């Protein structure tokens, strides 16, 4: 007989829709930001901790000072408002301008070549977007790439939140006059999943997800408020079931009424907890094209120990899965095997080829296999589909093929 034990007091297996409460949320987000907790900051503005980059560099010029600055930034991102602004973070504006020119060349070339223009939280084609801008800048203008990503404050904030071994990715977004605001949302990882799928993840994963990623943006032009810089709701990252809340009308209405919005100057940078409720604003300016390099810095630990050719493994076991299905195996048992053999998460991918045109995520390998079983694809069909799946994740053709 197996003994059973109650869950520890206060421990929840999962957040459910019934846990979502606007009153609880409001109690958190109306907390003031204590300026005394941020002794290196220039000021607190609309609840946001604002640093002068030159002062931050001076404070972090010794090992002890660097540790103190890192601890302060982590406090701001985790337990404070969830967002910091670094004024003048990219202080050599000629480097920013060179990067902008390189990005404009990429946009022009991609427009000339045609193709879909998907987006995660905005209408496809509404903005100019460069997926994988980091690699494209490195390949097209390595000198500018080196000068741009030598930035010490990007490294300081990234190591403060994620530690060493982090990985930087970048997506450039250009919002023209008339570009409408995004819906408020949380970001990568759980922020990209449907409510139904999000609710299947245990509560502790909801709390873990934000510390796997650092979100950031570098202003490549001056961004007055009328140009629509990002809207934020300080302290909203602290709300446990927030990944199940941000799509709800009452939460969106509260965000619309209570968000904050700070103007940015060229070279300023914003870094924030990905669980912070946020969304780009509407560009109501007459002539400002809002250009931002959106940075997503990922933890080194979000990876498996071994490299597995899952397309090869899935193709190999698929005929047996079909046999078991014909023999009457329950769907759950088949899906357990699919989960073990195939990749269950669609990222990372090449968003130029695998864009979220019909949703926020493309299909995962597991979903491809589940569709194949439902439609009784042949083994050759599965091999072809998984081969195309792998091809969509390459950023360039393999030479010689």
Q: Which residues pair with 264 in a beta bridge?
A: 223
User: What pLDDT, on the 0 to 100 scale, is given for residue 127?
Assistant: 79
User: What pLDDT, on the 0 to 100 scale, is given for residue 356?
Assistant: 63
DSSP 53-89: HHHHHHHTSSHHHHHHHHHHHHHHHHTSSSEEEEETS
In angstroms, how far apart are the furthest CA atoms of the chain?
73
Q: Count CB atoms within 10 A of the CB of residue 36.
A: 7
Ranges in the chain annotated CATH 2.60.120.620:
19-298
Task: pLDDT tens for the chain, 401 residues: list them.
Answer: 444 444 455 567 899 999 999 999 999 999 999 999 999 999 999 999 999 999 999 999 999 999 999 999 999 999 999 999 999 999 999 999 999 999 999 999 999 987 545 554 455 556 798 998 988 998 898 989 989 998 999 999 999 999 988 888 899 999 999 998 889 999 988 988 889 999 999 999 999 999 999 999 999 999 999 999 999 999 999 999 999 999 999 999 999 999 999 999 999 999 999 999 999 999 999 999 999 999 999 898 887 667 778 888 889 989 999 999 999 999 988 998 888 788 887 777 777 777 665 566 788 899 999 999 999 999 999 999 998 888 887 777 656 55
CB 110 within 8 A of CB 159: no
Q: What is the token pair recorded at 27? A: 């109690």
User: What pLDDT, on the 0 to 100 scale, is given for residue 119?
Assistant: 52
Burial label, 360 (beta-carbon count in 10 A; 0-12, 13-18, 19+)? middle
User: What pLDDT, on the 0 to 100 scale, is given for residue 7?
Assistant: 47
User: What pLDDT, on the 0 to 100 scale, is given for residue 255?
Assistant: 98
Residue 181: closest CA among 111, 126, 108: 126
Phi, psi of 330 (to 5 degrees): -70, 150
> Which pairs from 51-58 meet CB under 8 Å and 24+ separation?
51/84, 51/85, 51/86, 51/87, 52/87, 52/88, 53/86, 53/87, 53/88, 53/89, 53/91, 53/153, 54/88, 54/91, 56/86, 56/153, 56/156, 57/152, 57/153
Report yes or no on whether pTM surpasses 0.85.
no
Q: Which residues contact 311 (CB under 8 A, 6 or more apart)?
A: 365, 386, 387, 389, 390
Q: What is the token pair recorded at 99? A: 């990067």
DSSP 88-155: TSS--HHHHHHHHHHHHHHHHHHHHH------SSS-TTSSEEETTHHHHHHHH-HHHHHHHHT-HHHH
User: What pLDDT, on the 0 to 100 scale, is given for residue 306?
Assistant: 74
Q: Which residues contact 317 (CB under 8 A, 6 or more apart)?
A: 337, 341
Cα–Cα distance between 2 and 37 in angstroms, integer? 50
**Which overall architecture, per CATH, does domain 19-298 show?**
Sandwich (2.60)
CB 332 within 8 A of CB 339: no
CB 305 within 8 A of CB 235: no
CB 196 within 8 A of CB 124: no
User: What pLDDT, on the 0 to 100 scale, is given for residue 118?
Assistant: 53
């Amino acid at each position: 007989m197996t003994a059973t034990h109650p869950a520890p007091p206060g421990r929840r297996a999962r957040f459910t829709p019934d846990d979502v409460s606007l009153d609880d949320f409001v109690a958190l987000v109306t907390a003031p930001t204590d300026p005394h907790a941020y002794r290196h900051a220039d000021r607190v503005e609309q609840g946001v901790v604002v640093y002068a980059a030159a002062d931050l560099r001076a404070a972090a010029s010794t090992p002890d000072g660097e540790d103190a600055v890192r601890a302060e930034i982590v406090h701001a991102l985790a337990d404070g408002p969830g967002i910091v602004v670094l004024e003048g973070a990219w202080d050599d504006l000629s480097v920013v301008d060179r990067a902008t020119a390189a990005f404009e060349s990429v946009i022009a070339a991609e427009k000339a070549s045609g193709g879909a223009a998907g987006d995660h939280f905005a209408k496809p084609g509404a903005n100019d977007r460069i997926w994988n801008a980091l690699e494209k800048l490195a390949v097209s203008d390595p000198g500018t790439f080196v000068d741009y990503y030598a930035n010490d404050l990007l490294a300081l904030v990234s190591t403060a939140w994620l530690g060493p071994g982090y990985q930087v990715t970048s997506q450039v977004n250009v919002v023209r006059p008339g570009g409408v605001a995004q819906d408020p949302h949380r970001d990568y990882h759980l922020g990209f999943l449907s409510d139904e799928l999000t609710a299947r993840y245990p509560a502790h994963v909801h709390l873990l997800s934000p510390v796997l990623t650092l979100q950031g943006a570098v202003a490549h032009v001056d961004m007055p408020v009328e140009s629509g810089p990002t809207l934020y709701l300080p302290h909203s990252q602290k709300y446990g079931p927030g990944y199940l809340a941000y799509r709800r009308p009452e939460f969106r209405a509260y965000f619309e009424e209570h968000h904050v919005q700070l103007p940015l100057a060229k070279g300023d940078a914003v870094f924030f907890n990905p669980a912070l409720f946020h969304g780009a604003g509407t560009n109501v300016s007459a002539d400002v094209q809002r250009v931002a390099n959106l940075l997503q810095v990922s933890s080194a630990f979000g990876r498996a120990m071994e490299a597995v050719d899952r397309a090869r493994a899935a193709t190999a076991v698929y005929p047996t899965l079909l046999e078991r299905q014909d023999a009457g195996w329950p769907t759950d048992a088949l899906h357990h095997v699919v989960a073990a053999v195939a990749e269950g998460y669609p990222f990372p991918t090449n968003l130029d080829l695998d864009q979220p045109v019909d949703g926020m995520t493309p299909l995962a390998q597991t979903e491809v296999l589940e569709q194949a079983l439902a439609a009784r694809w042949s083994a050759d069909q599965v091999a072809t589909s998984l081969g195309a799946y792998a091809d969509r994740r390459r950023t360039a053709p393999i030479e010689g093929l």
